[in-house]
Amino acid sequence: MQNIKEYQLIIVGGGPAGLAAAISAAKSGLSEILIIERDKYLGGILNQCIHNGFGLHYFKEELTGPEYSKRFIDLLSENKIEVALDTMALNLENTEDWRYVHVMSSSDGYRVLRSKALILAMGCRERTRMNIQIPGTRAAGIFNAGQAQLYVNLEGYMVGKKVIILGSGDVGLIMARRMTLEGAEVVACVEVMPYPGGLNRNIVQCLQDFNIPLYLSHTITDIKGRNRVEQVTVQEVDQFGKPVAGTEIYYDVDTVLLSVGLIPENELSREAGVEIDPRTSGPMVYENKETRSKGVFACGNVLHVHDLVDFVTEEGESAGHAAACFVQDGGCVTEDANIISIKTDSNIGYTVPQQIRVDDVEKAVRVFFRVRKIFKEPSRIVFRDQSNAEIASFKRPFMFPAEMENVNLPRQLLDKISGTELTVSVEE
């Protein structure tokens, strides 16, 4: 390999996570930073999110997706951050001293780059109709909600006239409203779980305000239509998710939009040997977003699927800062750091980070997680160590799986832990 171009930091992905990471790394004193983006524009999925509601936490104001990302894009040049657009990262390789990235583009051809630190910020993709194995025909008119959003918002094309939505994830809810505003009839939103998949504000603003019914514990069990969708069958499901005979409802629609979950895009990470947590489908990370592969960090939806971009930004900043520390002084962490693993009880799906190097925590570490069922009554999130001593507890009036939770664990509490494990549970 000849003419390998070198950087201090390469960031794969120019969406909100990658942008925040780049700026944060620059502000932490790092130079020679490159963002690799496969699209022709920076901003990632925010480009097609023309609705408002972004930035309430971070900027304390309501922005549209493109407005939100522009605030970061505008800071790139003053921070001397290099950007390679329309460029695809094909392979990652991790060695002791360097992270290698094979990239390709029309303008610069096939190149091998390397950097001291690497940040994974590739985002996520939508689960498809085939992933969830809905039987029926393979007619046109079945779209992932995000794909339909791209057609409608970026390309100016309508994808259907009479629409049913499967899954109550946020993109699906947003598209229910968007399609209605564009003159389509949205007949129903159908959710297989007994609770909604998206934020409550979207249930209200996108379904209830437009009188679109939401059927919980229902799913689509058949799709008919030889060339274009003509009819779908909706059925109630039992507690095991099995369709209940006799509950069939038939809808004559020409379009099915799917909002049935997002999958972190970790194909590159896996090939590079980055250890993946099966619960998040994202890399296992420490408190500073460093993966188990030295010098490789992760943030945003590639790490775990978020519902608010504000937290993606925060995570990106954390990863960017940590990557800068890593390059400047070989990492913030002492080699023999005291490592604590966070375990979860059955009420909690996962945590990010999965492990904490206590000595690396300056003031506090923010732990993100999702609950696995609805808690309507006030309950406590409790952290216990291996001696079953309560280390910290946090009250919540209610909790929903759709809304990511987070708590701050102060350093002085972490120092009190006996053993190497911390278990987080929900106590009602």
Partner 1 sequence: MFDVIIIGAGVIGCATAYELSQFDLNVLLLDKENDVSLGASRANTAIVHGGYDPDPATLMGKYNVRGAKRCMELVNTLDVEFKKTGSLIIALDENDLKTLDKYYERGLLNGVEGMEMLDSEETRKREPNLSEEVIGALWIPESGVINPWEFTISMAEVAVREGVKLELNQKVIDIDKKSDHYLVKTETDQFQTKYVVNAAGVYSDQIHNMVAEPAFKINPTRGQYYLLDRSAGETVKTVIFPCPTELTKGILVSPTIHENILVGPDAETVSDPEDTSTTREVLGLVAREAQRSVPSLNFRNNIRNYSGIRANSDYNDFFVKISAPKFLDLAAIKSPGLTCAPIIAEEGIKLLAQEGLELNKKDKWDGTRKIIRFKEIPKAERADFIKENPEYGRIICRCEHITEGEIVAAIHRGLPIFSLDAIKRRAGSGLGRCQGGFCGPRVQEIIARETGVSPLDILLNKTGSYILVGQTKNAESED
| Rounded Cα gap, residues 313 and 16, in angstroms | 6
What would the x/- binding string for partner 1 be over residues 14 to 53, using CB under 8 A? ------------------------x---------------
The size of the chain, in residues, is 428
Query: DSSP letter string over 218-231?
Result: EEEEEEE-SSB--E
Q: How far is the CB of 124 from partner 1 (least distance, A)?
A: 11
Q: Which of 28, 79, 94, 105 binds partner 1 (CB under 8 A)?
A: 105
| Rounded Cα gap, residues 353 and 348, in angstroms | 14
Task: Encode burial over 92-125: b for 16+ CB neighbours within 10 A, e otherwise.
Answer: bebeeebbbbbbeeeeeeeebbbbbbbbbbbbbe
What would the x/- binding string for partner 1 be over residues 169 to 198, using CB under 8 A? -------------xx---------------
Q: Is the CB of residue 21 less than 8 Å from the CB of residue 42?
A: no
Q: How far is the CB of 270 from partner 1 (least distance, A)?
A: 8
SS3 151: helix
Distance of CA 250 to the CA centre of its chain: 34
Amino acid at 41: Y
65-73 and 16-27 are packed helices; what angle lies between their axes, rounded to 10 degrees?
Answer: 30
Q: Which of 4, 90, 204, 389 binds partner 1 (CB under 8 A)?
A: 90
Q: How far is the CB of 293 from partner 1 (least distance, A)?
A: 19
Q: How far is the CB of 153 from partner 1 (least distance, A)?
A: 8
Q: Which of 136, 169, 264, 353 binds partner 1 (CB under 8 A)?
A: 136
Candidates 57-65, 106-114, 167-175, 323-331; binding stretch for partner 1 (CB under 8 A): 106-114
Residue closer to partner 1 (CB basis): 24 or 266: 266
| Rounded Cα gap, residues 91 and 272, in angstroms | 8
Q: Where do the H-state alpha helices sit in 250-385?
A: 267-271, 309-329
Contact between 230 and partner 1 (CB under 8 A)?
Answer: no
Residue closer to partner 1 (CB basis): 253 or 422: 253
Residue closer to partner 1 (CB basis): 158 or 204: 158
| Rounded Cα gap, residues 159 and 127, in angstroms | 19
Q: Which residues bind partner 1 (CB under 8 A)?
A: 38, 86, 88, 90, 102, 104-111, 125-126, 128-131, 133, 135-141, 144, 146-147, 150-152, 155-161, 182-183, 221-224, 226-228, 243, 254, 267, 270
